[in-house]
């Protein structure tokens, strides 16, 4: 073994220890998740779908709005139309790629909005406590009395069809769920010694919430929010599928699935394509969220 005296190795170990310890929590989580093959594959698939949606106009695709009555419902693999054409003769590949733009926005935006609103509400309810907590949490309970699909459809059904209404209704569905999680983690943190120390040192409630509590609860709320994206994608496309979201001729996966429903007897597999896109995005978000959760659970 090495010639070094015992004290020297001990010194080296002492010096090495802070170096590994110095890596922050999030850096460790990041390293753990990049080692998870499933999460990385999902991240790659999502990246591809996002990039193609963003870069759609520069990819040399057909015009997703231009139809032609003489080339309706071509099969997958037709020359010039690798994924066939839809019921109005529009290129499916172009519509699926362009469709990602709206589908991803209406699916993800409600979760982002609900994350902001729900975190704020939960933080205030959990930190302030008392009557305010009761008021916020009992109001939230009312929304829990509705199954989420029913609530989304009730609100967007009452507001009428439209992209904004669909985003609003899904946000309303997710705010209570995120608020509940945020409230419960905040309540868990607020009586800890470091919060007490901050209060003793004269920090105001706003500073304590922003600096001391938010930093400690954001991770848990964030992971929970990512697990909602999959549901949100399915529901947003579902609203469009019912005719409550996007309006034709916009390319959007849920709406495309709806308009292609009548084509299942003519060209079934082309009709099923938009749903496969929703499925792919939704399963990738779910797996990525699971990966993130276990990467953040450092104890294991």
Partner 1 sequence: MLAYIARRIVYVVPIVISVALVCFLLVHITPGDPLVAVLPADASQELAAQLRAAYGFDRPLPVQFGLWLLRALHGDLGNSIATGRPVLAEVMRAVGNTVTLAIAAAIIGFTMGILLGLIAGYFRETWIDKVATSFAIAGVSVPHYWLGMVLVIIFSVQLNWLPAVGAGPNGSNSWAWDWAHLKYLVLPAITTSVIPMGIVTRTVRALTGDILSQDFVEALRAKGLHERGVFRHVIKNAAPTALAVMGLQLGYMLGGSILIETVFSWPGSGFLLNSAIFQRDLPLLQGTILILALFFVFLNLLVDIAQAAIDPRIKRG
Positions in the binding site for partner 1 (CB under 8 A): 138, 141-143, 145-150, 153-155, 157-160, 230, 233-234, 237-238, 241-244, 257, 261, 264-265, 268-269, 271-272, 274-276, 278-279, 282-283, 285-287, 290
Q: CA–CA separation, 186 vs 196, rounded Å?
A: 14
Least distance in Å: CB of 134 to partner 1? 12
Least distance in Å: CB of 251 to partner 1? 16
Least distance in Å: CB of 232 to partner 1? 12
152, 170 contact by CB (below 8 A): yes
Q: CA–CA separation, 89 vs 83, rounded Å?
A: 12
The DSSP 8-state label assigned to residue 300 in this structure reads -
Cβ-Cβ contacts under 8 Å for 278 (sequence gap 6 or more)? 103, 233, 234, 237, 253, 254, 257
Nearer to partner 1, 57 or 268 (CB): 268
Q: CA–CA separation, 281 vs 300, rounded Å?
A: 28
Q: CA–CA separation, 128 vs 113, rounded Å?
A: 22
Nearer to partner 1, 64 or 274 (CB): 274
Least distance in Å: CB of 130 to partner 1? 19
3-state SS assignment for residue 257: helix
| DSSP assignment of 52-81 | HHHTGGGTTPPPTT---GGGTTPPTTBTTB
Least distance in Å: CB of 290 to partner 1? 8
Nearer to partner 1, 29 or 283 (CB): 283
Nearer to partner 1, 103 or 186 (CB): 103
Nearer to partner 1, 114 or 153 (CB): 153
């Amino acid at each position: 073994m090495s010639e070094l005296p015992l004290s020297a190795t001990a010194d080296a170990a002492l010096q090495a220890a802070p170096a590994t310890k110095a890596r922050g929590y999030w850096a460790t989580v990041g390293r753990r998740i990049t080692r998870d093959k499933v999460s990385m594959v999902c991240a790659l698939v999502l990246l591809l779908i996002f990039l193609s949606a963003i870069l759609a106009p520069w990819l040399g695709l057909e015009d997703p709005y231009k139809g032609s009555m003489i080339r309706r419902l071509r099969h997958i693999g037709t020359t010039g139309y690798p994924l066939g054409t839809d019921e109005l003769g529009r290129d499916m590949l172009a519509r699926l790629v362009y469709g990602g733009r709206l589908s991803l926005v209406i699916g993800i935006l409600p979760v982002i909005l609900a994350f902001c609103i729900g975190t704020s509400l939960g933080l205030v309810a959990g930190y302030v406590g008392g009557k305010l907590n009761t008021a916020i949490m009992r109001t939230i309970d009312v929304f829990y009395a509705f199954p989420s699909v029913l609530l989304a459809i009730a609100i967007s059904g009452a507001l009428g069809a439209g992209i904004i209404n669909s985003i609003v209704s899904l946000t309303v569905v997710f705010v209570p769920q995120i608020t509940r999680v945020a409230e419960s983690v905040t309540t868990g943190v607020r009586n800890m010694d470091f919060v007490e120390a901050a209060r003793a040192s004269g920090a105001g409630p706003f500073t304590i919430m922003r600096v001391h509590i938010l930093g400690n609860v954001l991770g848990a709320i964030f992971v929970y929010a990512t697990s909602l994206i999959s549901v949100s994608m399915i529901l947003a496309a579902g609203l469009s599928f019912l005719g409550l979201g996007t309006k034709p001729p916009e390319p959007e996966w849920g709406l495309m699935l709806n308009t292609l429903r009548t084509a299942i007897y003519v060209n079934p597999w082309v009709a099923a394509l938009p749903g496969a896109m929703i499925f792919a995005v939704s399963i990738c978000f779910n797996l990525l969220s699971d990966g993130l959760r276990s990467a953040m659970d450092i104890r294991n």
